[in-house]
Structure 1
Amino acid sequence: MITHLNRYEKLILQDSQLPSDFRNLLAKVSKDTRLQSKETSFDKQVIWDTTASAIAPILFGFVHWCLVEAKKKGIKRLYFVARDGQILHKIAQEICQNWKYEIDCRYLYGSRQAWHAPALMQVGEAELGWILDSTTFLSVHSVCERVNITPEQIEGVLERFDFAKSNWNRNLSRNERDQLKQVFQEPEVVELILATAATYREKAIGYFRQEKVGDDLPFAIVDIGWVGRGQRSFSHLLKSAGLYPESGVYGFYFALEKQLKALSTDHLLAFYANDKPERQHISKHKHIVELFVSADHGGTMRYEQVGEQYIPVLRYQKNQTVIDWGLYVLQNAAVEFARQLTTNFSESDCSVELFLRATDLLIDSFIFHPSFEESKVFGSFLIADDQGEKVLYELAPAYSVINCLKLVILGKQPFKGIWVPASLARSNSLFQIILNPNILHITHNLRVLFGKLKSSIFLKKISNQSS
């Protein structure tokens, strides 16, 4: 009997749906990895322990599935796309080395901006959808940056639509965002965007060729999720250069909430498929999963040619904020878990289905029932939902008086994607009582009822006026 287990290891060991041998294996590897820690600070120890017992098994299961699927489909190369792919690539290297997968695993620099903008062949509704994607922070400057132009290049058009230069860096209101859409539909702006895209497209394709995309070796890309926009742009770029494979482009993802394909021959496959009700919540908590796969460098903005080489241009070379938080602790623990598992056990001891079951247990426990320590440490992680990373905010901030009132009265969270259970755990005990699910359910029903009454009164008033 394994002793001195933490709550995640006990959860696995006590689950009757998992075979006894696998339960013991996973609990032992998690515990052994946890005990390898040399961390001296409390916060770093929390990161190591939680990774060893919860995060690492989840990531390992996903990467193992990618390799199994690649082998089944005759895929010989996997491109782990930056930045999510950094830790996934490291885990894949451990599995391939110790379990003898003959698959070439590579780290490919890419991002929404680096692929979307060069792939532009037109500016229609689909393209405007991501150009003006309504993130928490959206300014004239940040939208222009998405398509590699500057506000100065379209200053005349911006002025015609009342976007003064003094407001280019200000977060736009909903009405202003709608107004900005008209700017990006003006013929001269569209022409500039497409001409700029053609220049960046040539360099992107040069980088892909350099990384052996299109050398006839069957390949797939690996990313965390969530709708396949990156793969769609990637496929468009390959198609424009004659590099698109006859069998289509394969993409392996942790989870997908929907699938956006460039071509019908593209394949988007998900490890944590939302075909089960208990998994459909995952896209609402995407920021938590993205925390697991953070990288130590900035996002890829574009590619440049330097001599004979094509190099990725990063927003910043070192992601110091994440490094200081404890990124390397998380990554080292995840790699140590992969090493412990693959050197002490054979692949026949594991299976994709068993790791999926373990993922169900671990991810739900971490998301919905975090300890106070986990809420404090992981909840303090700084995130941004806009690709320009203009505004950073804590994943799970403690509720303030104002935020508490806004939630009760208006049903409005501090920001989209807040990690609610962790925020509650970090909040004043009075707020925890006020914001419990039963009270929030009652206030929600009252808001709905009030809205219906208000609508009914308004319609009655209109009816009386017309009669």
Structure 2
Amino acid sequence: MEVTRYEQTLAGHDGLAAAMAVASAQARATVPASTSHEKAIRDIAAGVAAPVLVGYVIWLLRTAQARRLNRLCFLSRDAQVFSEIALRLAPRLGVQLSMDYVYSSRRTWSLAASDPYELEKADWLFNSFMRSNAADVCARLGLDIDEWTGTLAAAGASLSPSARADDPEQNAALRRFVATPEVAEAMRPRIERMRQLVRDYAIQEGIASESTGLVDAGWTGRMIGALYSVLTSVDLPVPQTFFWGHEPRASGWTDPKLITAYMYNTVAEPGVQWRVPDVPYIVETFCMADHAIVSGYRRTESGRIEAVLENTNAPVSAWGFDVYRAAIYAFCSALSLSHVGEDIRPVLSSLLSDFWITPTEQEAAAWGAYPYDSDPLGRATLPLARALSKQELDPLLNGGGMFDQGDRAWLQGSLALSGPAGRQAAAVLSPQYAKLGSPATD
């Protein structure tokens, strides 16, 4: 089997990186791929995703052990794969911790932390990769839009699905809508009920403890800030939090005493030297889960709190979830752990950059087809990359002007699918790609 370019990068280093090159090759030899689509999924899983995820989990387990934590709680859905990797590696690393997979979502925790009389300040209602329209805002609040069309119209909000909160007028109108007394009074009991459910669930699962570490992929910290608000409002203890990467913004939350990041942190150590442009899109894709988004919690007859969710994720399953996870697990089984103390973040950054910024057409076709969705309710699923037309690229190619990548999360993957014009555009953008700005998703 031919060595991949990612295995060549890993093999160019000693210790853990070299061991990862061997594990990648063995994983590819172990996991069958019957189509070019499956082959691209498997090869990127083994050569890029597995090193990136496993490197984080090794650091996580060793850090949690050093801090004498008793429990790690892996947050759904992004941390599902971290949980599976940790369960496989912890015994081999001699790490003894209680590890649990717990259910959370931006909708439930953010709603629990909201003030019903200041919903116009709740940015989570309006922001995501695809900015909210009127139906999205109602759905995030749990309101039937058909019962609120009059109030929306009175606030000046458009009911058109294409009218979204990235338009200043629609944004202002939606904020006027949620600020109305009618919405506040409708939401007050819903928020109070969700707040109590989140608190009880946090106690039940051992989340509300200073000796617990929460594990997630990361980003703005808003969800953790929401949990912090819900717990501290009744003097419950708060856990430590571990992120793969952290980039808080004005609408996010951070606390250097509570949040520790592995690859990068835009406001603290380790800084941004290993940050790859648009990296949240990559890692969220690598952190695909096999179940749907948590839409709420319910209390059973026994008094326990259960998450409300669908136990399937059909679009991701159809894309190739089983092949992807099989390659991750095969990598874990094959990996030698004799050099786990080494810092391989520079190598991981290189792998991510090579894949994300210079994908092959085959890689872009397979991974660009991934059904990406950063919306809190899963209402905006789109392919990670789609080809751009020559007309869309002309502003860039004829004079160096910019173009609108629209709802394409993976710019370079989209260009790789766009033929000669796309390759020309990629060459034009390459020197400035790192300056294109932070991704819109939060």
Given the two structures, how large is their TM-score scaled by the length of structure 2?
Answer: 0.87
State the distance in 2 between where 1:324 and 1:264 align: 39
Which moved further from structure 2: 416-425 or 65-74? 416-425
- Whether 1:94 aligns to 2:88 is yes
Q: Provide the residue aligned with 2:440 in structure 1.
A: none
- Whether 1:365 aligns to 2:354 is yes
Structure 2's unaligned 5+ residue stretches are 436-442
- Whether 1:253 aligns to 2:243 is yes
Larger radius of gyration between Structure 1 and Structure 2: 1
CA drift at 1:438 = 6.3
Q: What whole-Å deviation, never above 9, does each CA across 1:322-362 have from its counterpart, x for those lacking one?
A: 11111121112112212222xx443xx22251x31321221
Contact 2:120–2:176 (CA<8 Å) still a contact in 1?
A: no
Q: Provide the residue aligned with 2:212 in structure 1.
A: 219
Aligned residues: 423
Find the residue that maps to 1:436 and give its secondary structure.
Answer: helix
Residue identity opposite 1:11 in structure 2? T
Residue identity opposite 1:176 in structure 2? Q
* CA distance 1:261–1:376, shift in 2 (3 Å): closer
State the distance in 1 between where 2:366 and 2:191 align: 41
Contact 1:221–1:250 (CA<8 Å) still a contact in 2?
A: yes
Find the residue that maps to 2:184 and give its secondary structure.
Answer: helix
Residue identity opposite 2:359 in structure 1? P
Q: Provide the residue aligned with 1:61 in structure 2.
A: 55
- Whether 1:313 aligns to 2:308 is yes
Q: What whole-Å deviation, never above 9, does each CA across 1:123-164 have from its counterpart, x for those lacking one?
A: 548842222226425221211222233335545432322447
Q: Provide the residue aligned with 2:438 in structure 1.
A: none
Alignment of 1:268-417 (within 5 A): 268-274=259-265, 275=270, 278-282=273-277, 284-308=278-302, 309-314=304-309, 316-341=310-335, 344-346=336-338, 349-353=339-343, 355-405=344-394, 411-415=402-406
Residue identity opposite 1:250 in structure 2? Q
Residue identity opposite 1:78 in structure 2? L
Task: Tell me which of 164, 172, 181 is aligned to 2:164.
Answer: 172
Find the residue that maps to 1:254 and give its secondary structure.
Answer: strand
State the distance in 1 between where 2:4 and 2:129 align: 38
Q: Provide the residue aligned with 2:222 in structure 1.
A: 229
Given the two structures, how large is their TM-score scaled by the length of structure 1?
Answer: 0.82
CA drift at 1:435 = 5.4
Find the residue that maps to 1:253 and give its secondary structure.
Answer: strand
Which moved further from structure 2: 58-67 or 389-398? 389-398
* CA distance 1:126–1:70, shift in 2 (3 Å): farther
Residue identity opposite 1:359 in structure 2? L
Aligned identity (percent) is: 22
Task: Tell me which of 416, 427, 438 is aligned to 1:425.
Answer: 416
State the distance in 1 between where 2:261 and 2:102 align: 20
Contact 1:64–1:352 (CA<8 Å) still a contact in 2?
A: no
Q: What whole-Å deviation, never above 9, does each CA across 1:349-408 have from its counterpart, x for those lacking one?
A: 22251x313212211111122222111101111212322332322212111234224655
Find the residue that maps to 1:399 and give its secondary structure.
Answer: coil
Residue identity opposite 1:401 in structure 2? K
State the distance in 1 between where 2:116 and 2:379 align: 27
Structure having the higher helix fraction is 1
Contact 1:37–1:45 (CA<8 Å) still a contact in 2?
A: no
Residue identity opposite 2:229 in structure 1? H
Task: Tell me which of 188, 200, 214 is aligned to 1:194.
Answer: 188
Residue identity opposite 2:288 in structure 1? S
State the distance in 1 between where 2:6 and 2:60 align: 24
State the distance in 1 between where 2:391 and 2:353 align: 29
